[in-house]
Amino acid sequence: MLRYALVYSRTALLLALGSFAIIATPACSNGGTTPPERHLQAIRELPDGDHLAVVVHPGIATADAPREIDIFDLTTNSEFRWDVLHDIQEEMHPLRPGTVAAWAAKADKLFFASARSAVFVTRNGAQQVLHLQMPPNTGFPLDGMSSYTISPDGREVAYVFYARDRNDKLYTDLMVQEASGSTPISVWNDGATVLEPAWRPDARAIAHTDTNNDLVLSDLRGRVLWSIHPADILPPSASQSVIEKTVSQFVRHIQWDPTGQHIGFLMGVPEIKLYVVNSDGSGLHSISFRNAFGLAKHPEIDTFAWSPDASRFLISAVSTSICDHTALDYKFETGSFPCISGYDLYLSDSEGGHLRKISSAPSFDVGDILWIQ
């Protein structure tokens, strides 16, 4: 989604397979500043080969903001458009929170959810509509569902459910059900919605946050396997207000590495940093990025992904911005001109070393990153 500086926040997703990467990004008009157009060759099937980054735009299905998936070849630096998502006609609200695309690695399928539909998309572009069920006495299908994540085998879907039923009961649950359709089961409910749940690669546990914004690993019965308080990683000199703001607002984008050995997540005020913890909850530390010469780099990270062998990170970071200096009314009301950020893709090793930009031109659609296996 295009965003004004200081106004809009990112909600999106990038996925990756084996050596493919997919970025899912909502697209919308910002009402002023216009990004450069991108003209990509359309394809209907994912190309063969390795090292492909894929950018998904799950915005409103209109002529000026079509749903599409951009393919970026990390080897040849060539780009394509995987022309499949425009077939899904239901409108998605542009500010819908949470993940709307995910990759079922063992099933070799893309999961995509809009406000009105949930589908699997195969590598050849074929689509299968999923008929997810609602908890008893609640609304229309998919109402109140957000932050979807698909199990690696594609058999189960987890999501955050926030809605009231006809008896005015409020659901703030992390729920799981079969992708083929089954009665949803509440895995977690402690009175607050969780953020971006992430399946452990063996599909037997889910990482998520709780009402205290702790990072929690729980099994599918809601039993806590471990939890950590992210404020513990901040320096002792950090003020209490900074700690509270950091923990309450900026723990996001929880991602397992595909080997199941580590979890990464983003957090920070005002600088967003990437943190990694071992699968047993130990070894919590931040990643310090450095270029090929060992010099420190501080990318403004928007999202990230693990490589299939957990040896590398693919990150999306702010690289430029375009501002509308003719929008004087906006300047008068807000104190600044409306601006949109451009994002480039970068690669590094798992310790943050050898950071290098791999995209030839920035994208002005934000996106979350996963590395598809």
**Model pLDDT for residues 141-192, shown as the tens digit of each residue:** 888 888 889 999 999 999 999 988 888 889 999 999 999 989 999 999 988 8
**How is domain 13-372 classified at the architecture level of CATH?**
6 Propeller (2.120)
Is the model more confident about 61 or about 108? 108
Please say if the pLDDT value at position 295 is more than 60.
Answer: yes
Q: Enumerate the domain spans of the chain.
A: 13-372
Dihedral sign from CA coordinates of 85, 90, 94, 96: negative
Cα separation, 163 vs 202, in Å, equals 29
Dihedral sign from CA coordinates of 47, 10, 341, 287: negative
Element (H, E) at 52: strand 52-57
Please say if the pLDDT value at position 95 is more than 60.
Answer: no
- Predicted pLDDT of residue 363: 79
- Distance in Å from the first CA to the final CA of the chain: 26
- How many CB atoms sit inside 10 A of residue 54's CB? 27
Give the HSE-up count for residue 206: Cα atoms under 13 Å, Cβ half-sphere.
28
- Average pLDDT over every residue of 79-87: 74
Element (H, E) at 297: strand 296-297
Average pLDDT, the chain: 77
Residue 95 burial (C-beta neighbours within 10 Å; 0-12, 13-18, 19+): exposed
Taking only the tens place, the pLDDT of each residue in 219-262 is 999 999 999 887 666 555 555 555 454 444 567 889 999 999 99
- Average pLDDT over every residue of 330-339: 84
- Average pLDDT over every residue of 294-309: 89
Please say if the pLDDT value at position 38 is more than 80.
Answer: no
Cα separation, 157 vs 150, in Å, equals 5
- Predicted pLDDT of residue 347: 92
Residue 328 burial (C-beta neighbours within 10 Å; 0-12, 13-18, 19+): exposed
Alpha-carbon torsion, ordered 142, 182, 198, 310, to 10 deg: -120
List the alpha helices (DSSP H) in the chain: 240-249, 328-334
Is the model more confident about 238 or about 26? 238
Please say if the pLDDT value at position 15 is more than 60.
Answer: no
Token pair 């008068």 in the structure block, residue? 332
Cβ(316)–Cβ(301) under 8 Å?
yes
**Helices (H) then strands (E): counts for the chain:** 2, 29
CA distances from 53 to 16, 74, 277, 325 (A): 6, 7, 25, 33
Cβ(148)–Cβ(118) under 8 Å?
yes
Taking only the tens place, the pLDDT of each residue in 261-274 is 999 999 876 778 89
Cα separation, 266 vs 301, in Å, equals 8
- Average pLDDT over every residue of 271-288: 92
- Predicted pLDDT of residue 307: 87
- Average pLDDT over every residue of 55-80: 61
| Angle of CA points 42, 146, 5, to nearest 5° | 70
- Average pLDDT over every residue of 106-112: 86
Cβ(150)–Cβ(102) under 8 Å?
yes
Cβ(31)–Cβ(42) under 8 Å?
no
DSSP code per residue over 322-341: EE-TT-HHHHHHHSS--EEE
Cα separation, 364 vs 50, in Å, equals 25
Is the model more confident about 326 or about 20? 326
- Predicted pLDDT of residue 256: 93
- Predicted pLDDT of residue 76: 75
How many residues in total does the chain contain?
373
